[in-house]
Structure 1
């Protein structure tokens, strides 16, 4: 029950923030963002239909296309957003006035950030905001192309559509909105995880380094056997995950034990489980 209530709140709040971004920042300043709002802005020059009406029509129309082509499960996850979002957008565009006049660059930036936060909140529940998420999902179903790639292509085509209606400057401003939206979505989806470093260490002093990690950093390690592709020699490799603030300490420990150790480091944005998030001593 708590899970369902939390998800309902996130879906409602996420759709409200998305509608706020579109109603306050995207539509009033004709920002060529991705999604249905960007299409509405681009088509405004050619079609004499209010942009908010066009957005609402596209959202509802795409929902039914998704229902037909993607099935009942998709429809159940998307139905709330597809009908609540148009209600929020209609209310905001008709009864609320943008608080101040903004430069298009600022409008594109903040509109993208707020929209990304709203979309990210909805996605965290396992639901979809509908709209222009649907064409990439349909194409993915029949081609198995990457959804992320298809979304980027869709947003890019949406922004480029505005080139024929406006000019290059408008397109460049629109790209700011696309990238800030994507950035904000990623940040929202990473909330709850711990920004960390995943480190692989190959060293002749693997036992010494592993023991130092246990004793001085209070981190667990995994040791596996690795074989050099050129020398065909077998060596031991240590895998350890540390928090960002422990990473400099880890490098110092490695250099003290074996200055010639081979180290590979990658960012890890979501780490859970015993040995990392349980019983960790700072």
Structure 2
């Protein structure tokens, strides 16, 4: 049986560790506030381990933080190998803080005459909390780890596995919360995922541009001089014409796309341009998380 030895050298500067602690702590508190202020008072369900904890709360009045701690601890003991060391450390920390916050943080209760308003508010607040946890290099553990295990041993796609697990828990809660609140919970979970996505990658989303032109040199020079972005050049040829071309590839912000298109049109109106959404960019000039980035802030030299 193979052994697993975690890499204890996180190579993090003290303020980077402090950043993670602050983000994870605040994220856990915000998430717990979302549960206690919006989910429980409106008798909604939830996905993940929190959803299991909520079911036990409705049935047996067991504090959600207590169940959350026990179930997550069991899952972590089984699946800790699937997390890198930094994520593992802050996942354990997030599990402890979330469990504490679920049992102690009780902001004002929010109950609206419109059930969807309550679901919307709860989904957004919980999504922001989860996003902050992930930005702090923690994780919600629970179903994410189970999905990783399923992916390794069954080949099931991670996103699909997470969706199936979460929906199974939500549907199981329908026997406790009723059909109407189940539909509201599904709507709430959708908004949670969107808010989480906005917090984690929403501000890192970019556009990639692929430019096929007969005048690559002046276009590349113009782009570098105008927006100061690096360009990757590919050698290519047309299948039909067999004519060789240089293809320019660049990742830019959304507002820069129109500007670049106009400049290209002024040089080569026949240029072929494709613009594609880029979910997240990690690297020089876009982020501080890459160890080879000259602008890095989180890693020691």
Q: By the TM > 0.5 criterion, same fold?
A: yes
Distance 1:239 1:276, change over 3 A: farther
Which of the numbers 33, 37, 62 marks the counterpart of 1:20? Answer: 33
Contact 1:82-1:131 at 8 Å conserved across structures: no
Q: Distance in 1 between matches of 2:265 and 2:180?
A: 51
Give the unaligned 5+ runs of structure 1: none
Structure 2 equivalent of residue 243 of structure 1: 253
Tell me which of 180, 191, 196 is aligned to 2:206: 196
Residue 124 of structure 1, CA deviation: 2.0
Q: Which runs of 4+ in 1 moved over 6 A?
A: 275-278
How far apart are 1:232 and its partner, in Å?
3.7
1:223 aligns with 2:248: no
1:177 to 184, 188, 192: 188
Shift of 1:237: 0.6
Structure 1 position 255, deviation (Å): 2.0
Quick check: 1:219–1:275 contact (8 Å CA) kept in 2? Answer: no
Does the alignment pair 1:127 with 2:138?
A: yes
Count of aligned residue pairs for this structure pair: 271
Q: Does 2:276 align with 1:263? A: no
1:29 aligns with 2:42: yes
Question: TM-score scaled to structure 2, two decimals?
Answer: 0.77
Report the alpha carbon displacement of residue 265 of structure 1 after superposing the two structures with TM. 0.8
d(CA) in 2 for partners of 1:64, 1:43: 17
Report matched runs for 1:28-47 at 5 Å. Answer: 28-42=41-55
Counterpart CA distance in 2 for 1:231 and 1:82 is 60
Write the deviation string for residues 212-252 of structure 1: whole angstroms up to 9, x where unpaired. 32344443322221123444432211112332222111111
Pair 232,39 (structure 1): closer, same or farther in 2 beyond 3 Å: farther
Looking at structure 1, the residues matched to 20 and 286 of structure 2 have their Cα atoms a distance apart, in angstroms, of 29
Cα distance per residue 1:189-224 (max 9 Å; x no partner) = 12764x432100011222232233234444332222
Q: Over aligned residues, Cα RMSD in angstroms?
A: 3.0
Give deviations 1:27-74, integer Å, cap 9, x for gaps. Answer: 1112233223333445667xx311x52553144223223213434957
In structure 2, the CA distance between the partners of 1:274 and 1:161, relative to structure 1 (3 Å rule), is closer
Q: Taking structure 1 as the reference length, what is the TM-score of the superposition?
A: 0.82
> SS of the counterpart of 1:3?
helix
